[in-house]
Amino acid sequence: MTRAPVARFVRRAWIVPVLLLVAAPAFAQAPRDAPTLVVHLSDVAGVAPLPGLDASRLPGTRADGVLDADPAPEGNPDSAVAHVRELQRLLNLRLATGAPASLVVDGALRPAVLALNVTARAHEALGEVEARVVLVEDGATFAGRSYRFVARADAPPERANLSAPDAAFSFAREIPIPPGVDASRVGVAVSLRLLQASGAHEAGEVVQSASWSPRQDGPTVQDEKAVLVEHVSATWCEPCAASDAAIDLLAAQQGETTSGGAYLRAPSAWAAGGALVGLLAAIVATRRLRG
């Protein structure tokens, strides 16, 4: 190969790292302040919502086990935009409470089983708490429509006493993946709920939550406040359409799903760094050949 073809090749080689940068693996944890979503379809096999959220009241949405969304926000139950604003109101109220605890969630997808490891740590005295793990299927299709984060199974809860700041506990769970659930779309929603009132927090309040998927890159370390949003609907519920759409828009904050249920994200720092190094090397080589 002569110098001219080599120079042309190197001048064009920068395209390769750029393409690798754009096409970097699309699996990542949801944004750190994104809500943790669980959708309960009353006519689909799954699990019951947290106590206090009536599964027969359709639609119904509750934030952190303590705040219920207005089923007819702004007097317009058919407006998805009004439902989005109502959800954002609940999120703002709950985010303002801060994060009295943190959660670390990690695991592995095994044949027909999702194995989980969870650690909860108090940032203030909380007393008796209960950690709950719900297996969700993201992008499941029922009655011709795709639903985000549908509750499909749960694990026995874990109870502990976080009576002092920095108190912690860990536990492991294995959740069998129910028949008919697409294993490529599963993940978990973990919530930490108070069993008794503590300071400014009331009994039944969810003080922290976290989501985790085997498709993401590494564990979820939830130090910032993540609001648990539980939504009750049904595939046949026409009056639920507007609130269902609002939940879908809220879910979009966590990343769009592909046909395989993966989350689209920006490339990692390593991928970006590798692409940059490749680009700089191509530029230097081109200049040397020209010289």
Q: Tens digit of pLDDT per residue, the chain (291 long)?
A: 555 554 454 454 444 443 343 344 444 556 777 999 999 999 999 999 998 888 888 999 999 999 999 999 999 999 999 999 999 999 999 999 999 999 999 999 999 999 999 999 999 999 999 999 999 999 999 999 999 999 999 999 999 999 999 999 999 999 999 999 999 999 999 999 999 999 899 999 999 999 999 999 999 999 999 999 999 999 999 999 999 999 999 998 776 443 333 344 444 444 444 444 444 444 444 455 455
Q: What angle do CA 22, 26, 27 make, to 5 degrees?
A: 150
Which two three-digit tokens encode residue 148?
């985000």
Distance of CA 278 to the CA centre of its chain: 33
Question: Rounded to two decimals, what is the model's pTM?
Answer: 0.80
Q: Given this structure, which CATH class describes domain 36-254?
A: mainly beta
* Rounded-to-integer distance, Cα 241 and Cα 144, Å: 14
Give me the helices (H) in the chain, please: 3-13, 15-22, 80-95, 241-251, 269-290
